[in-house]
Amino acid sequence: MKDKLKKVVKEWKFLIMFLIAVVIYLTTIQFVRPLYVNGDSMNPTYSNNQFIWGTTYNIEGRIKRGSVIACTVYAPDRPSADEDGNLNLIKRVIGLPGEQIKIAGGFVFINGNLLEEDYIKEVMVVEKPQEFTLKEDEYFVMG
């Protein structure tokens, strides 16, 4: 009986390992995706040409200020956009739904309060002050 079991396992070993690999692959692509950092806008958190893994499950409702997210925007004029004009970006969440955002003098204000950004090395240059209020389904990202 024991020899028979060993023989069956030996005969099916490749198929079992292949099926395990397929299950791992399918599970991985459902929950994570590889991301390639293109540019220096997220320095020092992420560097140009850095490879990272990002989750693909819906995180809506769990997004907090300071979270780093991957998002897709339509930008057909950008050289790194795909054939459909979509561009994957890695950005930091700055403003949450319903908040008032003001960018002036190189600083970001949220609902009138200065945003403390210890990860920023340089003062942001803005030609003219900008002010807007986010809708209930909008986030403001930078980086």
- Enzyme catalytic residues: 41, 91
Exposed/middle/buried for residue 53 (C-beta within 10 Å: 0-12, 13-18, 19+): exposed
CB contact at 8 A, 105 and 140: no
Q: In residues, how long is the chain?
A: 143
Q: Which has the closest alpha carbon to 38: 68, 71, 80? A: 80
On the 0-12 / 13-18 / 19+ scale of CB atoms within 10 A, 14 is exposed
